[in-house]
Amino acid sequence: MDIVVRAVVGFLFVLLLTRAVGRRELSSMQPFDLILLVVIGDLVQQGITQNDLSVTGLMLVTSTIALLTVAISFASFKFPWTRPALDGEPVILVQDGEPIDRNLRRNRITLEELAATARIEGIERVANVKWAVLETSGRISFIQK
């Protein structure tokens, strides 16, 4: 039972950590960020399993994390009031061609990153954007003027 409790605590810690770190699409991560995620995963795994290298321990931890993932998904689907806390909310980054500096700073997105993402979407300048929204997935969507 101890391993299940550690799995629950580890899961909740990782959920809290991802909310604190912020949203980033996997494709926009720097190599260091990706390596850091792998290291965090390994450290959490060591804290959960400790010296338990048994198949039973593996199955308990995997099942606990899978059930918690389904429970979080179900709660987000069934109870709309939990969505902001569990999934986050979209954030407006640009309104009528004007970047919203407070939202960019809060999500640690530079104007250069925003402009580069706009160019990838075929938008020449940020001034040509009516809305730019940081979606809950970490992707930035653009609506042109």
- How far apart are the C-alpha atoms of 112 and 62, rounded to whole Å? 40
Quickly count: other Cβ atoms within 10 Å of residue 5's Cβ.
Answer: 11
Q: Which amino acid is at 83?
A: R
pLDDT in tens, 2-11: 888 988 998 8
62 and 123 belong to one structural domain: no
Residues 61, 122, single domain; the answer is no
**pLDDT tens, position by position, 12-66:** 888 887 777 766 655 566 777 778 778 888 888 888 888 777 888 888 888 999 9
- C-alpha distance from residue 39 to each of 15, 35, 46 (Å): 16, 6, 11
How many other CB atoms sit within 10 Å of the CB of residue 129?
24
Q: Which two tokens stand for residue 65?
A: 């994390």
Are both 12 and 57 inside the same structural domain? Answer: yes
Does 6 share its domain with 34? yes
Bridge partners, residue 133, by sequence: 92, 141
- Co-location of 34 and 70 in the same domain: yes
Contact 82, 76 (CB under 8 A): yes
Range of the domain at 60: 2-86
Indicate the pTM of the whole model.
0.67
State residue 23's pLDDT score.
67
* 142 vs 72: CA distance, rounded Å: 29
114 band by pLDDT with thresholds 50, 70 and 90: very high
Is 41 in the same domain as 80?
Answer: yes
Are 78 and 14 members of one domain? yes
